[in-house]
Amino acid sequence: MAFTQSDLDELAQRYTDAGNSKVPENVAFFHTQSSSITINQGEPSVGHMGLTEMAAGFHADVPDLHLSCNGIRGAGRHVVYLWTFTGHHAETGNALNVQGWEEWELDDDMKVTSSLGWFDGENYERQVAG
């Protein structure tokens, strides 16, 4: 099934709003019960519990995290969501400006069945350290 650009834009706005809600469960809501996300080839976070814990970890590290959508593109069920997050690291207080993307596989209800997330981890660590 192909989704219209309008459908994808609406999904991106709702997902961005969920990321900014400071409620980790709101991010997990966009995924199927058995969905997973793997970030930078790390260990996958699986299911709503794992996805909620992953989102909570980002908010613990960056309590004032603000997510912005830089675009969304689809090719059938495969979607790329481009993002930037800004905020300050909880321990160092250093400002962060991190760009990345998520590669989603969607079902017919536009729920994420799997996600690969990417950002420059070395750049993130440099920003954390100042």
The 10s digit of each residue's pLDDT in 100-128 is: 999 999 999 999 999 999 999 999 999 99
Q: Is-above-0.85 flag for pTM?
A: yes
Question: What domains can you pick out in the chain, each with its CATH number?
Answer: 5-129 (3.10.450.50)
3-state secondary structure the chain: CCCCHHHHHHHHHHHHHHHHCCCHHHHHCCECCCCEEEECCCCCEEHHHHHHHHHHHHHHHCCCCEEEEEEEEEECCEEEEEEEEEEECCCCCCEEEEEEEEEEEECCCCCEEEEEEEECHHHHHHHHHC
